[in-house]
Amino acid sequence: MSRDKPWGGRFREGTDPAVERFTASIHFDRELARHDIRGSIAHARMLGRAGVVPQADSDAIVAGLEVILGEVEAGTLFLDPRLEDIHMNVETRLRERIGAVAGRLHTGRSRNDQVATDLALYLREAARMIRHGLLELRRVLVARAREHVDTVLPGYTHLQRAQPVRLAHHWLAFVEMLGRDAERFSDLRRRIARCPLGSGALAGSTLPLDREDTARALGFEGPSRNSMDAVGSRDAALEFLAAAAIAMVNLSRLAEELVLWSTAEFGFIELSDAYSTGSSLMPQKKNPDVPELVRGKTGRVIGDLVALLTVVKGLPLTYNRDLQEDKEPLFDAAATLRDSLAVMAGAIATLAVRGDAMRAAAEDPMLLATDLAEALVRAGVPFREAHEVVGRVVAHCIAGGLDLRTLTHDALRAFHPRFEAAAGELLALDRALEERAMLGATARVRVAEALDEADRSLAAEADALAREEEIKP
């Protein structure tokens, strides 16, 4: 049995129930309820001030919407799946409260510019929420780094031991990566600075709408400049998803290290019981499920980006119903990233560092082979020649089961006459760290400076977020 359509007199036949189920979006676009009502309040106030509807009607609509907003925030607003989407649910509830005057709310507005505005408001809030999560995770990383300025471990390339570094330096690398993620979400704000309201279905309106009024009321810099672009584009949502996918990839790399480092083979850390799980069969197991799930959920967020890219790639201007598919991947990515940031911050804040195991791995003498080559460079040997010579020294040690640091001066001179001392005089773990004192390297003074700069940067970012929240409508 078909049902009457909720608007318009164009149709003589109701919608088939299967089509109603297929096209309904209320089960996910309820996420937009607060933003939808805020946009409607701004629109209704503008209609009254511009004289498009009687002021008394505008006041009644605003009062009714404010009550409904309270119901949304209290979680008491009933959302009827038969009404298809959040817009019709809100308008229907408004009509129940104030009667036929509710029909004036949609004057000069289409669901196209309405949902584009809702989406912009959502993106602004979601990006701010993600920036808070990124900020907190970086604070945790900096705090743990301060505890471990003198904890040394191998740095890796190709997952092979490469050169010794400070654990603080290692974790500060993720602070840098996640800082760029925060910049991407902050920069997105410039692309959602203009308000779509007033664009109508695609061509604007013949009514004397004051688009500057609604833009100001909703905290935008001004109205959108092209009505067709305003209702038909989703690049801001794509940008959010791209930033979310990159952030999740960065989190996944951090998560992978927690998984590796917590194995018996590495033994560098132990995750807190609160961020681990057991086995249903093996009682001895302590599994790093939290970082594993972050690693796994990264695929979801990448998929969310690919899904919307695929939806949009073949669409002509302007609005097409395909664009309804923008919301589920967007909401999913935002929630997944938000939760991943929170659990990673908790896992890192509570994990135990096994500094002795880290240092034991960093004492591998082969990690100092580059330092031996650079000793030749300082003696005037071209680097390529020095690299070749030390490669032969390393092969000799491996074949003979020798510690590189035990080679005498004469033993080294057998490989090249420019060696100026025994290996034990040329090579030392702590010296290897301290001699890397250039900007961005792992000497203690440089790491201390980087920590101080990170604190200043995070404090400035927190202040910027606070100022944004003070001026939001």
Catalytic residue positions?
158, 279
Residue 80, classified by CB atoms within 10 Å of its CB into exposed (0-12), middle (13-18) or buried (19+), is exposed
**Of how many residues is the chain composed?**
473
Task: For residues 307 and 285, give the distance between their C-alpha atoms in angstroms, rounded to a whole number.
Answer: 37
- The 8-class DSSP code of residue 351 comes to P
**138 closest CA partner among 87, 101, 175:** 175
Nearest to 332 by CA among 294, 296, 297: 297
Cα→Cα distances 350→19, 268, 270, 346, Å: 50, 14, 9, 6
Do 128 and 187 form a contact (C-beta atoms < 8 A)?
no
Distance CA 207, CA 50 (A): 10
CA dist., res. 253 & res. 266, Å (int):
17
> How far from 363 is each of 231, 267, 272, CA to CA, in Å?
61, 15, 27
Residue 142 has, within 13 A of its CA and on its CB side, a CA count of 23
| Integer Cα distance of 99 and 61 in angstroms | 10
Task: Take residue 92 and report the two structure tokens written for it.
Answer: 């229907």
How far is 467 from 346, CA to CA, in rounded Å? 27
CB atoms within 10 A of CB 217: 19
